[in-house]
Amino acid sequence: MKRTKRILSVLLSLIIALAGLAALCVPANAVYKVGDTLEYGSYPQTEVTDTLGDTLNAMSGSWTSYGYNDSDCMMYRDVTYNNAKYRGVVITSNRPITGSYSNTQKDNGYLKNNVYWFKIEPIRWRVLDPSTGFLLCDSIIDSQPFSTSLSTSGYNPCNYARSTIRTWLNNNFYNTAFTATEKSAIQTTALTTPSALSPDYDSPSTNDKIFLLSMEEATKKAYGFSEDAATCDMRKLMEGSDYAKCQGLWYCKDVQSVYIDFSCWWLRTPWSPVFVCGVEHDGHINDTIAANHVNFGICPAMKIGNLNAGVTLNSIAVKTMPSKTVYNVGESFSQSGLTLTATYSDGSKETIKSGFTCSGFSSAAAGTKPSRSRIRARRRPLPSQSTPQPLR
């Protein structure tokens, strides 16, 4: 009978040799430019609409309140299934909607006492300035009010420095969307936020990791935007995720409109004590939006440093084990199916399927021995490209 050797080290302790990997850099023909997109962080986005939802419902776990309006009107729980992450959402009572809008959660098809599941997926960002790593989320990722109250007692609801949206961005969103490694690359940005109407309503300066664009930034030609705030700017058109719609995001449902499916999103620029600026679904800027609207979307922004500077490899981890893990004595090792995840100094990640070698394997005698993988010096992948979304 032939004796076999189990290569348990491949499953338990694959040793990665990092020699020669300290000088990774972006090749000269792979520079980022304004309008390119990249993936960074992850967040609930696409709704699960097949029978997977039943499987996720059957998984154990406790529900956590979002704390909206100091109540349990909405709750969530996160689960992992088949190496993918999902967030479940249940609505016990609809979020209050202000203005002339009806209940947008119900209008969007998200009803009370039902459980909805959303896949946690990579966040796609648009490059506004590659030299500073200035990024804008390329879709509406969530729906939250600028301030939960319009009461002017004690403070200005449109004061960005004291707004609930600023707290949400730098706590709830920041801690949900990014790993510790990703957070380490996100810079603290000094922000000024003058009023578009009068200096009397200027917001104090802030220093934030995550923030909203100002009206000035949203009308800057160098960032790819129209300089005219009143123009229906195609580069400002944003669609919302399924998850944002579940949170109450309004979106255009008029099948006759060229702006169907597009939504509105906040800017941080105040107008008056109770009105703030935002981008309407047709791409023009409105400066009189009540700060407590729940159905306006959020397109976060951040800076992660020069995108075209060299980056180094921080770590390597096994993503997928080799297809073959049991060998007969005398057989050669096969790395087929083995993939690795490279994490770089800017927080980005790359799946490596080739360009590495494995050594240390021996099938001369039965037993368990470690195997070592060595990766040749690699370059970061080319950035993905994007073009302005056409009107439909």
For residues 250 and 132, state if they share a domain. yes
Residue 389 lies in a domain: no
- Establish if 388 belongs to a structural domain: no
Model confidence at 65, in pLDDT bands (50, 70, 90)?
A: very high
Within this chain, do residues 216 and 106 fall inside the same structural domain, yes or no? Answer: yes
The answer to whether residue 286 is domain-embedded is yes
In a domain, 325, yes or no: yes
Q: Is residue 380 part of a domain?
A: no
- 231 with 116, same domain? yes
Local confidence band at 171 (pLDDT 50, 70, 90 cut-offs): very high
Q: 325 or 127: whose pLDDT is higher?
A: 127
pLDDT at 143 over 50: yes
Q: Kindly report the three-state secondary structure assignment for every residue of the chain.
A: CCCEEECHHHHHCCEEECCCCCCCCCCCCCCCCCCCEEEEEEEEEEECCCCHHHHHHHCCCCCEECCHHHCCCEEEEEEEECCEEEEEEEECCCCCCCCCCCCHHHHCCCCCCCEEEEEEEEEEEEEEECCCCEEEECCECEECCCCCCCCCCCCCCCCHHHCHHHHHHHHHHHHHHCCHHHHHHCCCEEEEECCCCCHHHCEEEEEECCECCCHHHHCCHHHCCCCCCCCCCHHHCEEECHHHHHHCCCECCCCCCCCCCEECEEEEEECCCCEEEEECCCCCEEEEEECCCCCCEECCEEECCCCCCCCCEEEEEEEECCCCCEEECCCCCCCCCCEEEEEECCCCEEEECCCEEEECCCCCCCCCCCCEEEECCCCCCCCECCCCCCCC
272/338 same-domain check: no
* 261 compared with 346, residue with greater pLDDT: 261
Check whether 56 has a pLDDT greater than 50: yes
Verify that 22 and 165 share a domain, yes or no.
no
- Do residues 45 and 149 share a domain? yes
More confident: 250 or 341: 250
Same-domain pairing of 115 and 250:
yes
Q: Would you state the pLDDT for residue 372? A: 55
Query: In terms of residue numbers, what domain contains 18?
Result: 4-27+310-375
Regarding whether 299 and 333 lie in a shared domain, the answer is: no
pLDDT at 379 over 90: no
* pLDDT tier at 346, thresholds 50, 70, 90: low
Clarify whether residues 69 and 158 are in a common domain. Answer: yes
Least confident of 10-24, 289-303, 304-318: 10-24
CATH of the domain at 354: 2.60.40.3630
Indicate whether 265 and 344 sit together in one domain. no
Selected residue with higher pLDDT from 70 and 386 = 70
In a domain, 328, yes or no: yes
In a domain, 382, yes or no: no
Same domain for 21 and 101, yes or no, is no
